[in-house]
Structure 1
Amino acid sequence: MNSINLYLCYLCLGLSISMISCQSSDQNEEKWVNLFDGESLDGWKAVMGAADFEIENGEIIGIAKFGTPNTFLITEEQYDDFILEFDLKINHISSNSGAMVRGQFDPTARNGNGLVYGYQIEADPTDRAWSGGLYDEARRGWIYPLDLNPPAKSAFKMGEWNTYRIEAIGNEIKSWINGQEVAYVVDDTDSRGFIGLQVHSINDPNYEGEKTHFRNIRIQTEDLTSTPFNGDVFVVNTGLNQLTDLEQQNGWKLLFDGKSSAGWVGAYKETFPEKGWHIKDGILMVEASDGSESMSFGDIVTVDKFSAFDLSFDFNISEGANSGVKYFVTLSEGNKGSAIGLEYQILDDERHPDAKMGRDGNRTLASLYDLKTADKQPRYVRKPGEWNQGRIIVHPDNKVEHFINGVKVLEYVRGSEVFREMVSESKYKVWENFGEAPEGHILLQDHGDEVKFKNIKIKELN
């Protein structure tokens, strides 16, 4: 083949590829429906607050107003499964915003002034930087704060246009900002609702008039294909003892299968307790007894031992309850009562007297029991009878972190000088090298109160 014919072949091949690419792109574009025509607010309505919405240069501009609650511009149409994209820009730190997805509205609430509630993907201009996280507006609070995905905190750019992508398909909600994977939530509370744009309330009249900008708002509702996350992103799964494909790919495994006591035995025993601990409807529960420490039914421990790990667990306490999740439990002390180990405290801080004991609150919920106090805000904690998520990360370098409902509340380093000083001032000072074992069991404590557990999962770290 001569050079001219070869050139013509390459040219034809290039044109063919280009035509296929354009055709594919055109077909993909046909799936999108614009929710905003750039000129009017047809198909939208403002509810709840009294902030203003204007249209300028193909943008929806929300204007903050002092003395009014959050204002939402919501679609008149409701959606179940969808992929949503839009651009958002914030210029001032007071302009907290977000997008309601599968949002709900009760027009009779607040004395007839109405209440918006449900899933919201956050736009957070503060140093906290939780943009793209999932907040359950006027209901459960934060479901996916970005303490769960620290690298994503840098995705949102203040004063610039940010492209959001939100996929709500089945019981999964995923978010991206500027192409960065942010939040991954599995939850089935709402399967259908409106799309909403938020202008947050302001507590300072000097901030009145600050603007939040939206543009290029479009949605897909047919022939949806879920986009897989590729990174090592933590998944919040409020279901029952299940792992997503992403979690399994990233090395997570269940410590409780929801059906049996497999993998667990009584502390200092070879079998699972015959009474007191129950498994029913996917829940592992220790029943109430006399409030004593591990004297009625006994603690349970994992058969396996762990060194560096990421442990997540959901717990639900009764009023006034006391319990704990211990780690690096060696079962070598031979003591009476609960086995010795580092403890993530589980407690009803308002009703149990232990919250006021110890030093500086170091026996409160999510604290490193008797050693270090959890720095938490009450709004991040759900009340007794509701499910909370605990998390303990032990890094290979011995740095340890505690979380409550996705919010980081403390960290320390095992074996450090500071750690050993804390131990010397605690009840654990009598145990040589307390908390410094190279590996140990995970323990769930029987403290004589009813406590439930589910979604106990672990990932070993290297």
Structure 2
Amino acid sequence: MHMVRRVGMAMGWVVVVSLLGAGLSQGRAGEPGAKPGLCPDEAKEGFVDLLAVGSLDELWQGATRGYVLVDDAKEGRKLVCKKTGGGNLLTKKEYADFVFRFEFKLTPGANNGVGIRTPAQGNPAYVGMEIQILDDGHEKYKGWLKDYQVHGSIYGVVPARRGFLKPTGEWNSEEICAKGRRVKVTLNGTVIVDADLDEAVAKNGGKTLDGQDHPGLKREKGHIGFLGHGDELEFRNVRVKELR
């Protein structure tokens, strides 16, 4: 969420902890104990595993020191946004139309986001688009959180349907599909946003819901990434497919 973004967060070194050993089960993406990699169907469809790297610097740029790769015997390879780290971790590659899939596990009150079609510089919520990642039912957000700030919303522009997040500590699955002017967000199998960007602004009198300038709505391509705000949470099975 942009409004609680912390500036000047201290960032530690990226540590890659390798705990995978012989005897681990060969599971599908999304299953506990799965090794890094795509399930066969996704590989055939053209998805790319963005965590199948030895170092984040191979495919990612930006706040690579605010996140850590961990290979866990039970939960597979994870990308952990550190409590004292975070920041904007963006793909080196730019994407126009795509399907972006990932799983995430929230800690109480955690706040993060997914930047899409964003340039490498500037605030992705405005110069690109930010899809909110938020434990929006937490006590600290009660009474002031706007509809366009809840989990899954296109921040400041399109509110998401609520009530489909799993409890903190459980894995959620999410898919973001951007094709032309349409953006669709699916959380745990339920579509919570399905918006035409032009229509979303037009029906509000030509203004965004938050009243701010969002030039990123007009961008046709850009980076994808996680936008950490100093709260710890975990990601896994992060993969992307370009749409032609």
Bucket of the pairwise TM-score, normalised by the shorter protein: 0.7 to 0.9
The 8 Å contact of residues 355 and 363 in structure 1, kept in 2 or not, is answered as no
Cα distance change on mapping 1:383 and 1:370 into 2, 3 Å: same
Aligned to 2:59: 263
Question: What letter is aligned with 1:312?
Answer: R
Mapped pair 1:387 → 2:171: yes
Q: Return the offset for 1:426.
A: 3.8
Give 1:199's aligned residue. none
Partner of 1:405: 188
- State which of 136, 145, 151 in structure 2 corresponds to 1:365: 151
Which residue in the other structure is 2:136 paired with?
Answer: 349
2:113, 2:175 → 1: CA distance?
A: 12
Moved over 6 A (4+): none
1:258 is displaced (CA, Å) by 5.7
Counterparts of 1:9-24 in structure 2, within 5 Å, are: none
| Aligned counterparts of 1:331 and 1:426: Cα–Cα separation in 2 | 25
CA contact (8 A) 1:258 1:454 kept: no
Secondary structure of the residue aligned to 1:452 is: strand
**Number of residue-to-residue matches in the alignment:** 213
The equivalent of 2:201 in structure 1 is: 419
Deviation at 1:324, TM superposition (A): 0.6
Determine the C-alpha separation between the residues in 2 that align with 1:389 and 1:356. 27
Post-superposition shift, 1:384? Answer: 1.2
Change (3 A) 1:187 1:392: closer
1:186 and 1:256 map into 2 onto residues whose CA distance is 12
Cα distance in 2 for residues equivalent to 1:352 and 1:443 = 27
User: For residues 239 and 355 of structure 1, what CA distance do their matches in structure 2 show?
Assistant: 37
- Calculate percent identity across the aligned residue pairs: 25
Could you list the per-position Cα deviations for residues 136-162 of structure 1 after superposition, in whole angstroms to 9, with x for gaps in the alignment?
xxxxxxxxxxxxxxxxxxxxxxxxxxx
- Could you list the runs of 5+ residues in structure 2 that have no partner in the other structure? 1-24, 72-76
Pairs within 5 Å for 1:212-231? none
Which amino acid in structure 1 is aligned with residue 195 of structure 2?
Answer: Y
After superposition, the Cα gap between the structure-2 partners of 1:255 and 1:386, relative to the gap in structure 1 and judged at 3 Å, is same
Amino acid at match of 1:390: E
Which string of whole-angstrom CA distances, capped at 9 and with x for unpartnered residues, describes residues 324-377 of structure 1? 1110111354x6x97742122111112164565454x2211112222222124x
Which one of 201, 215, 219 corresponds to residue 437 of structure 1? 219
Separation (CA, whole Å) in 2 of partners of 1:186 and 1:265: 24
Distance in 2 (alpha carbons) for counterparts of 1:308 and 1:332: 20
Preserved CA contact (<8 Å) 2:158 2:209: no
Name the Cα RMSD after superposition: 2.8
Matches within 5 A, 1:240-259: 240-257=35-52, 259=54
Question: What is the SS of the residue equivalent to 1:429?
Answer: coil
